[in-house]
Homo-oligomer: A and B are copies of this chain.
Amino acid sequence: MFTSRQNELAQAAKVLAHPARIAILEYISKQEGCICNDLVDVIGLAQPTISQHLNEIKKIGLLKGTFEGKNLCYCINEERWEELQQSFHLFFSNINYNCC
């Protein structure tokens, strides 16, 4: 019904469509190294809720690192990040304003 590019862009936008996930990404980005186990305190949502949001971010490949057990290590997957950045950039810059 829609092109796969349209579906993928919408799916990526969906991950960014919650302020907690924006905040999580920005917080991880600000950390030195990738130990970020105080997300629950920083964001102010319950631990299962944070875990759930992290999972949404993981599902589109935006996080890399170690994901099990104690001392986990999250960080942003640079390649995937730049891929999405490019997708949004193309979307925004290919729009025309030819009326009104």
**Interface on A for B, CB 8 Å cutoff?**
1-3, 6-7, 9-11, 13-14, 16-23, 25-26, 29-34, 44, 64-65, 73, 75-76, 78, 81, 84-85, 88-89, 91-100
Q: What would 11 more interface pairs be, CB under 8 Å, given A2-B22, A64-B100, A78-B97? A: A2-B23, A6-B19, A10-B19, A13-B13, A22-B91, A25-B95, A31-B98, A32-B99, A34-B99, A76-B95, A89-B92
Residues of chain B lying within 8 A (CB to CB) of residue A89: 89, 92
- Give the docked Cα–Cα distance between A26 and B9 (Å): 12
Quick one: which of B17, B78, B100 contacts A14, CB cutoff 8 A?
B17
